[in-house]
């Protein structure tokens, strides 16, 4: 019997196919321009890329948040430092404004002295009040500076403030006209009247006896030559309401030019020029010429009224 199965063909065919497969793989890899390592790297990158993207989506916001917190902390520190610098600048500005205010006061005072008259002036700082319920002012000048009881006090603009009521060697007490029980003799136009303080207000009441004509809003109230406590012609305030005589009596409200609560500097006038006469209460007011919008009058009188 004859056996027809091929002999020796299976193994060579298998080897041939394996070699051919390797050659084809090598040829394909070379055609793509990369080696086996490149192919493995590309495959690994293809697998890892989605993982990297997912990680970036998760990690980047956290990193951004950490950076933002760090920047926020730095901004807060800078903000605190800027606020501190602003507070220091504000404090410096307040100091400069205070110095400018004092300079303005002294310039005004210089303007007063430049006018030139026989009345001596003593500039004093307001250093306090006797207590919270007392309207009197305490200044840092006293008898050692030539001050005596009864001398008139004005502000740096020359507006009436009050009267020196008591004096020590280094200080003096001033009672503003708003707190004085005595009436201040004033003139409005050519009419002489009395200015009286009122309770619970800084405004004062003007009473004119034997009034001949009304007073109008804006009329200036000045010290009269009849007053023994103040030189004539010092500005006191302004009428704030029209008022007409009732029979022959007129009453009106006057707003003062000076608010004692805001004073920092005052000027004490050496008037009358003789302090002994001033303190004795026997002064005779010299003749004063008062010029008004209506007429000019000259009055000489003996003290009997403020």
Is residue 132 located within the same domain as residue 202?
Answer: yes
**Domain termination residue (choose one: 116, 135, 155):** 116
Q: What confidence tier does 176 reach under pLDDT thresholds 50, 70, 90?
A: very high
**Domain termination residue (choose one: 116, 147, 167):** 116
Is residue 102 located within the same domain as residue 126?
Answer: no
Q: Cα(277)–Cα(188) distance, rounded to whole angstroms? A: 28
Residue 125's CATH number = 2.40.10.340
Is residue 151 located within the same domain as residue 169?
Answer: yes
* pTM for this predicted structure: 0.56
Question: Looking at the domain assignment, is residue 192 inside a domain?
Answer: yes
- Exposure string (b/e) for 189-211, b if CB count within 10 Å is 16 or more? bebbbbbbbeeeebebbbebeeb
- Which of 23-27, 128-132, 256-260, 287-291 is predicted least confidently? 287-291
Question: Looking at the domain assignment, is residue 8 inside a domain?
Answer: no
Is residue 68 located within the same domain as residue 145?
Answer: no
Is residue 183 located within the same domain as residue 249?
Answer: yes
Is residue 129 located within the same domain as residue 95?
Answer: no
User: In this predicted model, what pLDDT tens digit does every residue of 183-215 receive, in sequence order?
Assistant: 999 999 999 999 999 887 889 999 999 899 999
Which pLDDT does position 135 carry in this prediction? 85
Question: Which among 193, 194, 159, 192 has a CA at the least distance from the CA of 176?
Answer: 159
Q: Cα torsion for 70, 73, 75, 77, to the nearest 10°? A: -140
Q: Cα(170)–Cα(139) distance, rounded to whole angstroms? A: 9
Which pLDDT does position 85 carry in this prediction? 87
- Is the predicted pLDDT of residue 228 greater than 50, yes or no? yes
Share of the chain above pLDDT 90, in %: 37
Question: Looking at the domain assignment, is residue 14 inside a domain?
Answer: no
Number of domains in the chain: 2
| Domain extent for 47 | 37-116
CA dist list (Å): 30 to 25, 111, 242: 9, 106, 115
86 or 53: whose pLDDT is higher?
86
User: In this predicted model, what pLDDT tens digit does every residue of 145-156 receive, in sequence order?
Assistant: 999 999 999 998
Which pLDDT does position 12 carry in this prediction? 77
Is residue 86 located within the same domain as residue 207?
Answer: no
Which pLDDT does position 304 carry in this prediction? 44
User: In this predicted model, what pLDDT tens digit does every residue of 65-117 receive, in sequence order?
Assistant: 676 767 777 888 888 888 888 888 888 887 777 777 666 666 665 555 444 45
Question: 3-state SS of the chain: helix, strand, coil percent to 5?
Answer: 35, 30, 35
Is residue 262 located within the same domain as residue 167?
Answer: yes
**Domain termination residue (choose one: 62, 89, 116):** 116
The segment with the largest mean pLDDT, out of 24-33, 214-223, 240-249, is: 214-223
Which pLDDT does position 285 carry in this prediction? 38
CA 168 to chain centre: 35
Contact of 210 with 198, CB cutoff 8 Å: no
């Amino acid at each position: 019997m004859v056996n027809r199965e091929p002999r020796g063909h299976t193994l060579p065919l298998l080897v041939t196919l394996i070699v051919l497969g390797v050659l084809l793989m090598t040829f394909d890899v070379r055609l793509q321009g990369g080696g086996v390592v490149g192919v493995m790297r590309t495959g690994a990158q293809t697998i890892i890329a989605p993982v990297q993207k997912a990680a970036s989506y998760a990690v980047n916001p956290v990193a951004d948040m950490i950076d933002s917190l760090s920047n926020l902390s730095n901004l807060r520190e800078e903000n605190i430092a800027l606020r501190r610098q602003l507070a220091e600048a504000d404090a410096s500005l307040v100091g400069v404004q205070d110095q400018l205010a004092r300079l303005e006061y002294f310039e005004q005072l210089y303007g007063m002295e430049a006018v030139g008259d026989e009345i001596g002036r003593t500039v004093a700082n307001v250093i306090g009040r006797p207590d919270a319920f007392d309207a009197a002012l305490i200044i840092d000048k006293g008898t050692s500076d030539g001050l005596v009881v009864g001398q008139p006090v004005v502000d740096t603009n020359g507006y009436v403030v009050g009267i020196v009521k008591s004096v020590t060697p280094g200080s003096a007490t001033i009672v503003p006209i708003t707190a004085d029980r005595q009436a201040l003799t004033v003139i409005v136009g050519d009419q002489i009247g009395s200015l009286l303080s009122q309770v619970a207000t800084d405004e004062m009441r003007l009473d004119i006896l034997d009034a001949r004509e009304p007073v109008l809003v804006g009329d200036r109230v000045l010290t009269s030559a009849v007053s023994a406590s103040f030189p004539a012609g010092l500005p006191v305030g302004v009428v704030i309401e029209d008022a007409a005589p009732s029979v022959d009596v007129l009453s009106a409200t006057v707003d003062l030019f000076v608010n004692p609560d805001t004073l920092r500097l005052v000027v004490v006038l050496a008037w009358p020029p003789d302090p002994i006469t001033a303190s004795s209460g026997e002064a005779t007011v010299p003749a004063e010429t008062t010029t008004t919008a209506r007429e000019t009058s000259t009055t000489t009188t003996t003290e009997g009224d403020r």
